[in-house]
A and B are shown apart, each in its own frame.
Chain A
Amino acid sequence: MVWEPIFWLGCFLTNMTLIAFNIYQITCLSDLEADYLNPYESSARINSVVIPEFLVHGVFCFLFLVTGHWLFFLITCFPAYHNARKFMKRQHLMDVTEAFRHIDAQKRIRVFKLGFYLVLFVFVLIRSFTAGTFSILLSIFHDNNEELDIRSSVLEF
């Protein structure tokens, strides 16, 4: 099946995006803590990526569901639930007025999420390999397969 590698490639990229979002938010929080940013800017920056992050994660989760990757779906379900709950309670955005009071809690959540995505990243990477995503990628970039073969055979000897 050709879709499987492409699917994992998509997961790989999505996961990278989520990690990037989280790192960005954590940086903003650290900057706020260290007085490099004022609470207005910091929370504006963070709030601008909160919804995209939630959406991307939702899509991520949904993809696992429709493609029948139950285990991955279950794993990603928890953060999705957490996100949804925050959103419903309208607590998903940074509160400018109380930025400093909540800074630790906000940071903890994001570091936790980052850890989660990193672990997930490892899994996705493994599945990508087993699904042959990267070999296909390589084969796309190196359309001259024979050359590759020769090289490898050279290395073998």
Chain B
Amino acid sequence: MGTEIPNRANFPLRPATVPFGAPRGASPFSASGPVVGAEASAFRPTPPVAGSQVPTPSFTPGPVAGPDAVGFRPVTPSRPGDPAGPPPSASYGPPHTGPFQRFPSPLFSTTAQAPVAPPPVRPPMGASSSPPVSLHSQPQPVFMGSPPQSINSVQSGMNVPQSSVDSPFAAPRPNFQQSSPPIRSTYPAPRGTLQSALPGFPSKQPNAAAQAPSVNSVPFPSQQGGYVAPIPPPSRPFPAQQGGFVQSPPLAAPSGFYQREQMQHPGSMPPMATAQGLAEDFSSLSLGSVPGSFDAGVDPKALPRPLDGDVEQKIFSEMYPMNCSSRYLRLTTSALPSSQSLASRWHLPLGAVVCPLAEAPEGEEVPVVNFVNTGIIRCRRCRTYVNPYVAFTDSGRKWRCNICSLLNDVPGEYFAHLDASGRRVDLDQRPELTQGSVEFVAPAEYMVRPPMPPLYFFLIDVSISAVRSGMLETVAETIKSCLDSLPGFPRTQIGFITYDSTVHFYNMKSTLSQPQMMVVSDLDDIFVPLPDDLLVNLSESRAVVDAFLNSFPSMFQDNMNVESAFGPALKAAFMVMSQLGGKLLIFQNTLPSLGAGRLRLRGDDARVYGTDKEHMLRLPEDPFYKQMAADFSKYQIAVNLYAFSDKYTDIATLGTLAKYTGGQVYYYPNFVSSHKDKLRHELARDLTRETAWEAVMRIRCGKGVRFTSYHGNFMLRSTDLMALPAVDCDKAYAMQLCLEETLLTTQTVYFQVALLYTSSSGERRIRVHTAAAPVVSDLAEMYRMADTGAVVSLLSRLAIEKSLSYKLEEARNSVQSRIVKALREYRNLYSVQHRLAGRMIYPDSLKFLPLYGLALFKSTSLRGGYADVQLDERCAAGYTMMALPVKKLLKLLYPNLIRIDEFLLKTTPLTDESNEIWKRHPLTVESLDSRGLYIFDDGFRFVLWFGRMLSPEIAMNLLGEDFATDYSKVRLTERDNEMSRRLMKIIQKYRESDPSYYQLCHLVRQGEQPREGFFLLANLVEDQVGGTNGYVDWMLQLHRQVQQSA
């Protein structure tokens, strides 16, 4: 191989590391750019290749990876004067004696290579998973393949100049790079391994220089072991390699980082990826030879489906182990483009989805750091918080900011010496320097006022419809049951206002035994009758609050008032709360009809759909609510809207209150008593989940990159500062970024999310999540590192926003065109080298993108037109989707469909089934067996589907006497038999796995229209429902569009 020769030649020389550090370090990623294409061109000319290789040149890097690694190994022993040489040679020697003896031979000429190189090349071909393993297990039976030959001939070409110039090492090296960058870049993977294997020879390879400092001290044998031994049998070579690397001795924070940076090379390199063959390079789907014909012979079973849920790419997190978890921050692609032109070829949104307070599993909680003496360490210029990626220099007296690279002083109290490898000696006691997510306790300078107490204010509609629906009792009951578990115990404040055509205030002063009700009927000029005692400390006034909640549903039992003075009540609530801020929970049952902010029955007009005015329906009608929302946000009030009406309540307008205050919209259409459980659970969760108050969030990123737009439920207080009066774990925020400079000069871009908030306990805190992402100059690399979940999340937010100013149709088309453009761009990368006719190709990382795109079109917020979804429901879904974290969104888009009847019949105890009850089925009618019982779970509701031929025994056991009646009236309750208990247990498990919403069970019998259609069939996203595409047709359509003008 071209690279081996220089290596060998270099060994005796051991030149200084520096000269190579520069070129290598400058653009480690750029190397990956030309790889595939360039390589193809390099190989193509060679005669043997032409026929067999050209169509799939990406194979060639594959074989190379293996042999390279192999080739290097043998080289090591041969190096004169390398003390560490022998061990590896011993381990590798036997199988390869022939070739290896040649390697060392000083005359590494072209002739020598012909036999030499090919042998090592071959083994990996079959055992794709891990080259080193194959080295052991497969001697050399396959040595002479055509690919190796082609490589050979190329090498020989390369070698000549190399060997001729090998002694003046420094000079030729750059030459080599320039003259044949593709080759160089082809081999970084093995080279990387070589480096770690041969620390004594850091300069052998161009990229050695950068690594050398960090690796140097590591003894050779251990490295060797680190690399070879751990190769587990993973399915992909990628992780395998990475795993190997990660096993190398733990690295110091600052220096370790650099090494990681280098390391991801191998990981991201095509050679590794393609060791397996074509499949690693991109995924493809055979769509028949005639594009356009519907009978193209697509195998529906072969279509990619996310049946394992949202599987995150492990490569990235392994590459940067100090990054914060993907729970908190997900980039749409973990490899950022190095230039604007490259960014413009990435047609998907470029950005991040942040869920700052995501629930961490046990044991992975975010550590809290309290800088008592030093104050919080931040960069002087860009205000970045100290994080694992900062580099300490000047023997620990200074630190370099990783975002703006300013050199800051280390405060005296924070000083610690650096050890030989440049890491702080106190590293293990400093979570902020080792973990991507930390929480700082903020001192007084981060407060504009004393931390506010948790404050809950309830604004409850008591008009006739609210009373009739039974909502009042449930709300009162739930609040009462949650009073003990409201966060921030002794300081929590609480208050109530109710309204119909008048506004009622309640004096809950602790000295009273019963709350006093005050009625204000002057709606035009609303005032607060008793400014002080409407908002009381819960612990002091507990008895009064209890008394109120007990009496309040009955108080309005006979209320016949149909009006709703929502606007004035809202103003009153604002006046009461504006001193402190807090959370305002609105229970709204009718369209606001009195006073400011009264709304018209705009109605859902079928004639408007398809016209230019369609989007107006989804836009807030009255600026009053936007203005109120802005004021709420200013005074740190978050609004959660609970809407219950079965009639039109203009959620589009009311929802803005939640949208701009970081709140949430809960919508319970046709609220009847059976929805009580759902309301109870969700209200209780809303009240008791850990909440961050009066928060602001900012995301910082390195030079050259800038966040341009933000999407989610919040209000921007300045260009990049999100005001979030209340945040919790169920909220995620998306943002898009753009490149400010035409060319990025850095190799890595860092992101830092900082959320400054008041915890319920009254402590001011800063939660900081830091992540690093490499910059690449290769488009294929960007696609490979794409994160479908984040992409889909951003795309859906953009589409929903678009549906507010354009027709639904256009919103859907914009998503589709982005997907098509992205796939076309990707196809163009490979179409030159591969015969792609009749195949649809996509990066493996984005294989679910088309399906999620289709699911997005069929989601409640973007589906169809007038008749498909009620307007309110559509808007509520839109508001919900704008706040959903990635995983939940994906589940909503592609729900779980699980067959459970077999499982109910089993007699084994319920412990060992955990895997089985998570087996998901494709969302098509075909997966529904009429003898089965299925559960459909989209995170918001369960649909229990009873097949027509399901054994009556099961139905009878589960439903008792009701099994033959109309299922719409049947409620699922636990009955006294094993089967029913099992079912309830399963449902319980599902609910526990996704506690942010309560999934109400809807029972549906096969063939029971229209309920079956409404609950299940319309949600089977892979089917052709009501004029929408089925999955197969959709793929064909995408494929056609991709090929047009491709």
Tell me the A residues contacting B by CB distance below 8 Å: 33, 35, 38-40, 90, 93, 95-97, 99-101
B204 at the interface (CB under 8 A from A): no
Q: How far is the CA of A114 from the CA of B719 in the complex (A)?
A: 25
> Can you list 28 pairs linking A and B with CB atoms under 8 Å apart?
A35-B718, A35-B719, A38-B717, A38-B718, A39-B630, A39-B715, A39-B717, A39-B718, A40-B630, A40-B634, A90-B623, A93-B623, A95-B623, A95-B626, A96-B626, A96-B627, A96-B630, A97-B626, A97-B629, A97-B630, A97-B633, A97-B656, A97-B659, A97-B715, A99-B716, A100-B716, A100-B719, A101-B709
B187 at the interface (CB under 8 A from A): no
For A103, the closest partner residue in chain B by CB is B719
Least Cβ distance of B631 to chain A in Å?
A: 8
Q: How far is the CA of A87 from the CA of B493 in the complex (A)?
A: 43
**B680-736 residues at the A interface, CB under 8 angstroms:** 709, 715-719
Which residues from A are CB-within-8-Å of B718? 35, 38-39
Q: How far is the CA of A18 from the CA of B888 in the complex (A)?
A: 52
Main secondary structure of the interface of B (DSSP, over half): helix
Tell me the B residues contacting A by CB distance below 8 Å: 623, 626-627, 629-630, 633-634, 656, 659-660, 709, 715-719
Q: How far is the CA of A71 from the CA of B719 in the complex (A)?
A: 43
Which residues from B are CB-within-8-Å of A100? 716, 719
Which of the listed residues A33, A38, A95, A96 has the most CB atoms from chain B within 10 Å of its own CB?
A96
Which residues from B are CB-within-8-Å of A96? 626-627, 630
Q: How far is the CA of A101 from the CA of B709 in the complex (A)?
A: 8
Q: How far is the CA of A38 from the CA of B659 in the complex (A)?
A: 19
Which of the listed residues A33, A38, A100, A101 has the most CB atoms from chain B within 10 Å of its own CB?
A100
Which residues from A are CB-within-8-Å of B715? 39, 97
Q: How far is the CA of A120 from the CA of B576 in the complex (A)?
A: 51
For B714, the closest partner residue in chain A by CB is A97
The answer to whether B660 touches A97, judged by C-beta atoms less than 8 angstroms apart, is yes
Which residues from B are CB-within-8-Å of A33? 719
Can you list the 8 inter-chain pairs with the closest CB atoms, starting with the nearest?
A: A96-B630, A97-B660, A35-B718, A100-B716, A97-B626, A97-B630, A97-B715, A97-B629
Which residues from A are CB-within-8-Å of B627? 96
Which residues from B are CB-within-8-Å of A35? 718-719
Least Cβ distance of A113 to chain B in Å?
A: 22
For B709, the closest partner residue in chain A by CB is A101
Which residues from B are CB-within-8-Å of A93? 623
Q: How far is the CA of A75 from the CA of B659 in the complex (A)?
A: 42
Q: How far is the CA of A34 from the CA of B634 in the complex (A)?
A: 19
Additional pairs, 6, CB under 8 Å, beyond known A35-B719, A38-B717, A95-B623: A38-B718, A40-B630, A90-B623, A97-B630, A97-B659, A101-B709
Q: How far is the CA of A96 from the CA of B632 in the complex (A)?
A: 12
Q: How far is the CA of A103 from the CA of B859 in the complex (A)?
A: 31
For B715, the closest partner residue in chain A by CB is A97
Which of the listed residues B629, B633, B634, B715 has the most CB atoms from chain A within 10 Å of its own CB?
B715
For B716, the closest partner residue in chain A by CB is A100
The answer to whether B716 touches A39, judged by C-beta atoms less than 8 angstroms apart, is yes
Least Cβ distance of B393 to chain A in Å?
A: 32
Q: How far is the CA of A102 from the CA of B650 in the complex (A)?
A: 24
Which residues from A are CB-within-8-Å of B630? 39-40, 96-97
Q: How far is the CA of A95 from the CA of B719 in the complex (A)?
A: 15
For A100, the closest partner residue in chain B by CB is B716
Least Cβ distance of A147 to chain B in Å?
A: 59
Q: How far is the CA of A75 from the CA of B630 in the complex (A)?
A: 38
Q: How far is the CA of A35 from the CA of B630 in the complex (A)?
A: 17
Which residues from A are CB-within-8-Å of B716? 39, 99-100
For A40, the closest partner residue in chain B by CB is B634
For B633, the closest partner residue in chain A by CB is A97
Q: How far is the CA of A93 from the CA of B623 in the complex (A)?
A: 10
Least Cβ distance of A95 to chain B in Å?
A: 6
Q: How far is the CA of A104 from the CA of B30 in the complex (A)?
A: 35
Which residues from A are CB-within-8-Å of B656? 97
Which residues from B are CB-within-8-Å of A38? 717-718
Least Cβ distance of A89 to chain B in Å?
A: 10
Q: How far is the CA of A97 from the CA of B656 in the complex (A)?
A: 9
Which of the listed residues B659, B660, B716 has the most CB atoms from chain A within 10 Å of its own CB?
B716
Least Cβ distance of A85 to chain B in Å?
A: 14
Which residues from A are CB-within-8-Å of B626? 95-97
Which residues from A are CB-within-8-Å of B719? 33, 35, 100
Q: How far is the CA of A33 from the CA of B719 in the complex (A)?
A: 7
Q: How far is the CA of A35 from the CA of B626 in the complex (A)?
A: 22
Least Cβ distance of B7 to chain A in Å?
A: 54
Which residues from B are CB-within-8-Å of A99? 716
Q: How far is the CA of A40 from the CA of B660 in the complex (A)?
A: 13
Which residues from A are CB-within-8-Å of B634? 40
Which residues from B are CB-within-8-Å of A39? 630, 715-718
Least Cβ distance of A128 to chain B in Å?
A: 40
For B616, the closest partner residue in chain A by CB is A89
Which residues from A are CB-within-8-Å of B659? 97
For A91, the closest partner residue in chain B by CB is B623
For A90, the closest partner residue in chain B by CB is B623
Least Cβ distance of B878 to chain A in Å?
A: 16
Which of the listed residues B627, B716, B718 has the most CB atoms from chain A within 10 Å of its own CB?
B718
For A99, the closest partner residue in chain B by CB is B716
Q: How far is the CA of A133 from the CA of B716 in the complex (A)?
A: 50
